[in-house]
Amino acid sequence: MATKGMNLCNVCCLLLYVITAVLAGRDFYQILGVSKSASIRDIKKAYRKLALQLHPDRNPDDPKAQDKFADLGAAYEVLSDEEKRKQYDTYGEDGLKEGHHGSHNDIFSSFFGDFGFMFGGNRQQQDRNIPRGNDITLDLEVTLEEVYSGNFVEVVRVKPVAKEAPGKRKCNCRQEMRTTQLGPGRFQMTQEMVCDECPNVKLVNEERTLEVEIEQGVRDEMEYPFIGEGEPHIDGEPGDLRFRIKVLKHPLFERRGDDLYTNVTISLVEALIGFEMDIVHLDGHKVHIVRDKITKPGARMWKKGEGLPNFDNINIRGSLIITFDVEFPQTQLDEPQKEALIKMFLSLGIQALKRHS
Amino acid sequence: MGNLGSGCAVLPRSLPTILILLSCVFGLSLGTELSFVTCGSVLKLLNIKHNVRLHSHDVRYGSGSGQQSVTGVTAVEDSNSYWSVRGTSDALCHRGTPVKCEQTIRLTHVNTGRNLHSHYFASPLSSNQEVSAFGDEGEGDHLDEWTVLCGGSVWKREEAVRFRHKATDALLSVTGEQYGRPIHGQREVHAMSSPSQHSLWKAMEGIFMKPSENPMGSRDYSHLHTEF
């Protein structure tokens, strides 16, 4: 009896689930692989990682690649916008008021650049004769906190874009040798500037937002390219824009590879009797330190797993190495204090008096 | 880009007109994602009167200080016209912080790593104060410091601003003198003591850093001295 009831219950539940799944549309959180409480940064990070994996050019054998990629774009478009996300959370995909605005291309190129996508950041130039605008490489200063936790930097790119204009213009100008005949048997060779005729263009400044990811564990001098976002060329392709990471010095932590080094000063008494303290880490979490032995100046403590995440595998972390410095009293001791000190150490049997006789 | 349509000139007489007016205003303000210049941004500076962009290159002055020359070029697409907006060595300016009017900054030439610089040398064509590019990898000396002079509280991208050289009080200017070979057609950039139409500049093409949220846990360390 109980089993029959349970089976009916299960079937009902399954039916209900299927109905809601069908009615609710796509699960954008699942498509991006993030939780319902994901921050905007988590969402951007997830999109960037998946976009590289799911791009149709990268999956030529998968017939569903276009759809998967389109789903990803739709998911990002909704979840990255506060208003749309609220509507989606309450009413599902069908509850979204308007249709999709920006094309997925716009979203994709704000993370990776503009001009037809080439994997690996390298251009495969089919025709080497196409002139290309200059590349722009600029330093992007990042803090150690950003290296630890990751971050996204929004950047507004203002660049000239070629727009149609009335008339014609001279293009592909080059020097050519012309031979003219001056008379019977007499020739002259001259250099002449020869141009083609092209539709006229004018350069108009346009702007767009780019998303630069500061990946966890990123190292100094690493570069993030944005294809086609460099200097334009009126007769050819634009160059690329490259962000070169520059990690700023931190006042408390020093980076060496994936390890972090920091100095802590303890008192003379703490050095002798031990101590307990918290060190506040780069993301605000506390590292608890307990010491119940004597600590010499310059002594080091290793805290595994409290260093920086490794860029290639963020599940591996370096260590935090704490070097202890001992603070001695600031004011000189007077005679009664000196005598009391000698007496105390003698009576306690602590080896702290003369080393040599 | 702002929509400066003729609708803005219509006097509000009824609700639809008011709505048009409102959307006009919002259109103007929403036309750009970032209306001011921030530290860490890389940009081209246009001299408004002479329509040339501030430029430098690996060519030295033949007279004066003999340092790397700074000129004005007419071309729009020249990657040697990019300058990075940075704080001074005493007052760091964090990435994405808006540049305030009267703030002192350094302008670092992106391709050569030298800072916009001036000193008491005569410029080659007009005998005004020479402006050069000086330093190595973004570090020069106190003569690299310039004060941004603008109207409001921050340096707006759309605004015409002036740059006053901190040490000599002279203003970055162009008066139209042109060089011959090997930099034919480029204009002389120099500094002059009195403000004029020749010393107005505007932020143009570039890569502008938006202010970003600090990751969780970031703190202000300005009260501490470094232990290293």
Q: In Å, how far is B110's CA from the nearest CA of chain A?
A: 7
Q: Over the stretch B34-45, which tens digit does the pLDDT of each residue have?
A: 999 999 999 999
Contacts of A156 in chain B (CB under 8 A): 32-34, 207-208, 210
Single out the residue of B42, B28, B72, B43 nearest to residue B204, CA to CA.
Answer: B43
Nearest CB to B207; choose among A143, A148, A157:
A157
User: Confidence class of residue A3 from pLDDT cuts 50, 70 and 90?
Assistant: low
Q: Over the stretch A267-286, which tens digit does the pLDDT of each residue have?
A: 999 999 999 999 999 999 99
Q: Over the stretch A210-265, which tens digit does the pLDDT of each residue have?
A: 999 999 999 999 999 999 999 988 888 899 999 999 999 999 999 999 999 999 99
- Write phi, then psi, for A345 (nearest 5 degrees): -65, -40
Q: Strand runs (DSSP E) across chain A, as ranges? A: 136-142, 151-183, 186-214, 223-226, 241-247, 254-256, 259-267, 275-280, 286-291, 300-303, 320-327
How confident is the model at residue A54, as a pLDDT?
87
Q: In Å, how far is B181's CA from the nearest CA of chain A?
A: 20
Q: Would you tell me how many other CB atoms lie within 10 Å of the CB of residue A138?
A: 19
How confident is the model at residue B6, as a pLDDT?
43
Task: Using an 8 Å CB-CB cutoff, list residues of chain B that contact chain A.
Answer: 1, 32-34, 40, 42, 76-79, 82, 84, 95-96, 110, 204-210, 212-219, 221, 224-228
Q: In Å, how far is A327's CA from the nearest CA of chain B?
A: 14
How confident is the model at residue A121, as a pLDDT?
42
Prediction pTM value? 0.80
User: Confidence class of residue A110 from pLDDT cuts 50, 70 and 90?
Assistant: confident
pLDDT > 90: what percent of chain A?
Answer: 48
Q: Over the stretch B120-176, which tens digit does the pLDDT of each residue have?
A: 999 999 999 999 999 999 999 999 999 999 999 999 999 999 999 999 999 999 999
Buried b (16+ CB within 10 A) or exposed e, B99-115: bbbebbbbbbbbbbbbb
Q: Over the stretch A62-78, which tens digit does the pLDDT of each residue have?
A: 888 888 888 899 999 99
Q: Do A136 and B213 touch (CB under 8 A)?
A: no
d(CA A313, CA A217): 9
Tokens of A102: 């920006």
Tokens of A266: 């303890």
Nearest CB to B79; choose among A134, A157, A206:
A134
Task: Say if residues A21 and A94 touch (Cβ distance below 8 Å).
Answer: no
CB pairs under 8 A between A and B: 115
Single out the residue of A265, A333, A331, A334 nearest to residue A299, CA to CA.
Answer: A265
**Does pLDDT of A9 surpass 70?**
yes
User: Confidence class of residue B33 from pLDDT cuts 50, 70 and 90?
Assistant: confident
Contacts of B206 in chain A (CB under 8 A): 158
Distant-in-sequence, close-in-space partners of A276: CB < 8 Å, separation ≥ 6: A288, A289, A290, A291
Comparing A196-200, B58-62, B94-98, B169-173, which segment has the lowest mean pLDDT? A196-200
How confident is the model at residue A203, as a pLDDT?
83
Q: Do A251 and B226 touch (CB under 8 A)?
A: yes
Nearest CB to B32; choose among A207, A231, A280:
A207
Contacts of A284 in chain B (CB under 8 A): 216-217, 219
The residue count for chain B: 228
Q: Over the stretch B90-124, which tens digit does the pLDDT of each residue have?
A: 999 999 999 999 999 999 999 999 999 999 999 99
How confident is the model at residue B198, as a pLDDT?
97
Q: In Å, how far is B212's CA from the nearest CA of chain A?
A: 6
Q: Do B77 and A285 touch (CB under 8 A)?
A: no
Across the range A157-186, mean pLDDT stands at 84
- A39 near B CB under 8 A: no
How confident is the model at residue B12, as a pLDDT?
47
More confident residue, B87 or A110: B87
Contacts of B37 in chain A (CB under 8 A): none
- C-alpha B202: how far from chain center: 7
User: Confidence class of residue B178 from pLDDT cuts 50, 70 and 90?
Assistant: very high
How confident is the model at residue B13, as a pLDDT?
55
Q: In Å, how far is A62's CA from the nearest CA of chain B?
A: 37
Across the range A286-291, mean pLDDT stands at 95
How confident is the model at residue A357, as a pLDDT?
53
How confident is the model at residue B224, as a pLDDT?
56
Q: Would you tell me how many other CB atoms lie within 10 Å of the CB of residue B20?
A: 16
Q: Which residues of A, range 315-334, sit inside 8 Å of B by Cβ?
A: none
Which of left, alpha, beta for A175 (phi over 0: left; psi -120 to 50: alpha)? beta
ipTM of the complex model: 0.81
